[in-house]
Amino acid sequence: MNHIKKIDLLFAAFVILLSIFTFNCVDASANNHYLSKKEISHLLIKGGYSTESPESPKVTKRVGNKTTVWTYPGAQGADIFKLTTKGKYVHIHATFGSLGGGHFSKYPNKDCKDFGPIKTVVKR
């Protein structure tokens, strides 16, 4: 009887250690919707938004797996990026515009091809 208890105890300890090891080795970015400013900058560059200043993303909203970011390229430029995390991928939707005149004005999509894609998906 004591032999069976020892085996059960060893098995329970093994399961606990295995679960701790497995939990600590899981890629956090795959399960985490949070995007740091550094990661956002990296994702924007990776997504083809080369005109964006990597140091300047201003996070304006975080809700669940969605993050809204503003960047300010050029003298009066203002671009809005909506990033949606889906596992190891981030979907990016860009709105390009200007703050000329004191308010945000969206550029027509046909005029934005030099700024980067309107929509793209990048891997984290």
Q: 24-61 pLDDT, tens per residue? A: 444 444 457 889 988 998 999 999 887 666 567 889 99
More confident residue, 22 or 123: 123
Entry pTM:
0.71
The rounded percent of the chain whose pLDDT value lies above 90 is 42
CA-CA distances (angstroms) from residue 26 to 17, 22, 33, 56, 88? 15, 6, 14, 30, 12
In tens, the pLDDT along 51-99 reads 666 567 889 999 999 999 998 887 788 899 999 999 999 999 999 999 9
**pLDDT at residue 120 greater than cutoff 90:** yes
Placement of tokens 């250690």 in the chain: 17
Both tokens assigned to 118: 């309107």
pLDDT of residue 27: 45
Placement of tokens 């934005």 in the chain: 112
Rg (CA), the chain: 22
pLDDT of residue 26: 41
pLDDT of residue 23: 42
Q: How many CB atoms lie within 10 A of CB 7?
A: 10
Give first-to-last CA distance, the chain, whole Å.
Answer: 52
